[in-house]
Amino acid sequence: MRIELVSAAAEDSARLTPLALATLAALTPPDIELGFSDDQVRPIDLENGFPGADLVAISVLSKTAYRAYEIADACRTKGIPVVLGGIHPTVLPEEASTHADAVVIGEAELLWPRLLEDFRVHRLQKFYRQEEWVDMNRSPVPRRTIFRPHSGSYVPLDVVQTTRGCPFHCEFCTVHSIFGSPFRMRDIEKVIAEVRDLERWGILLADDNVIGNVSYFQRLFTALAPLKLRWIGEASLAGLDQEQNLKILQRSGCKALFIGFESLSPQLKTTGKTQNHPDQYRQIIRKLHDHGIIAYAAFMFGFDFDDPSIFERTVEFAVANKIILAQFAMLTPYPGTRFYSRLKAEGRLLRDRWWLSPNQEILAPHFRPLGMEPERLREGWKWAWKEFYSLSSIWKRLDFWPALHPYLAFLPFNLRQRHFARNKICAEKTRPRSWKE
């Protein structure tokens, strides 16, 4: 039997190895032959793709749903059965089931082996639902060898996950509804055993918040320090004001943290993001930089409390605080979030199922903001990218940190982002996505 594991791509997919598929590979019995295709690395040939596959399994996010359904429909037309799983099918299983023979709802660790058994005996069910949160220690070491044939096409980072779940309930975020509020952690020895043998330049931790449980964080990253790793990850602001935690991060090899600052407005807490205190942002950025850690700051525009002055105020703050890298996003109503349900109830969604549009990036925002017209939001968002990555802003943000590495990384990353801002964001250039081009 041969199964093709497929990662569907969207306009803004990054060249990082998809951990979910390496996890499925590790859960697959060795007598089953596995193939792996990443639509991002090489667009999937809808007409002739996957010769010899008995089953195609696709991982789907909302932003990749349009493409995933296109791939699924093409396979099924050729008579190849399709399984869909991941965050999007988990929140919208009925929709996904119209493009699939089976839909996996939730985490796959316990369901995937069961599904394969059913498939072997021709008893594939329409839905497989994981009712309880999976113990993180039941998750196998991902089988990363599936990426080997394409290893040169990926950013040289191994993706590793140590925790799942999020205790915070931000209304725009999918995570707590899918992975739950309880914070689930892998045993520290298991994490160490996995990362010790990794060979690439560094690690991307696919945790929503590396500092979500402070005691676990302190134990894990203290234990990782002797391994002399280089890693980047995501963190919430809670815990980053403590000198002890910053020292642990630094010693464990943390090079950058992607942080959801989201907004400078104190009203941010009305969205449920109560762990952010905008009056502390300045100090936390400074402290991270002092410890040689890049604060990759994420901001969102389009909150109910935003007016058109938000763009300038945010960029001014980011430049004045010499933020090394920033990402600006328009709020997106992801299905399964309270934000989506609220906008729908308030009649403010411009496209109920925006994820089914092939050109969803160009159509965004997909909702009517309260404080400005949708067009103004899009225009301000573009302006923020352009302004933050303008040559004069890059110059103003140049700084001599006590640590050398953020300084070395500054220019190449900023020039790359400048290119992205000008071409992708402002000029709305899209990448060719067809295998025919």
Q: Which residues bind ligand B12 (CB under 6 A)?
A: 10, 12-14, 16-20, 23-24, 57-59, 61-64, 83, 85-88, 104, 107-109, 112, 159, 161, 173-175, 179, 206, 208, 329, 334
Report the C-alpha gap between 114 and 105 in whole angstroms. 13
| Residue 61 or 315 having the CB closest to ligand B12 | 61
| Residue 287 or 300 having the CB closest to ligand B12 | 300
In the complex, the smallest distance separating the C-beta of residue 59 from ligand B12, rounded to whole angstroms, is 3
Of 261, 216, 236, 220, residue with least CA distance to 167: 236
Report the C-alpha gap between 347 and 338 in whole angstroms. 14
| Residue 283 or 423 having the CB closest to ligand B12 | 423
In the complex, the smallest distance separating the C-beta of residue 299 from ligand B12, rounded to whole angstroms, is 12
Count of alpha carbons within 13 angstroms of residue 66, beta-carbon side: 13
| Residue 86 or 292 having the CB closest to ligand B12 | 86
DSSP-derived secondary structure letter, 349: B
| Residue 132 or 243 having the CB closest to ligand B12 | 132
In the complex, the smallest distance separating the C-beta of residue 123 from ligand B12, rounded to whole angstroms, is 16
In the complex, the smallest distance separating the C-beta of residue 174 from ligand B12, rounded to whole angstroms, is 4
In the complex, the smallest distance separating the C-beta of residue 367 from ligand B12, rounded to whole angstroms, is 15
Scanning 170-293, the segments in alpha helix (DSSP H) are 175-179, 188-196, 214-224, 243-252, 281-290
In the complex, the smallest distance separating the C-beta of residue 396 from ligand B12, rounded to whole angstroms, is 26
DSSP-derived secondary structure letter, 47: T
Q: Which residue is nearest to ligand B12 (CB)?
A: 85
| Residue 383 or 407 having the CB closest to ligand B12 | 383
Exposed e or buried b per residue across 25-64, where buried means at least 16 C-beta atoms within 10 angstroms of its C-beta? bbbbeeeeebbbbbbbbebbebeebbeebebbbbbbbbbb
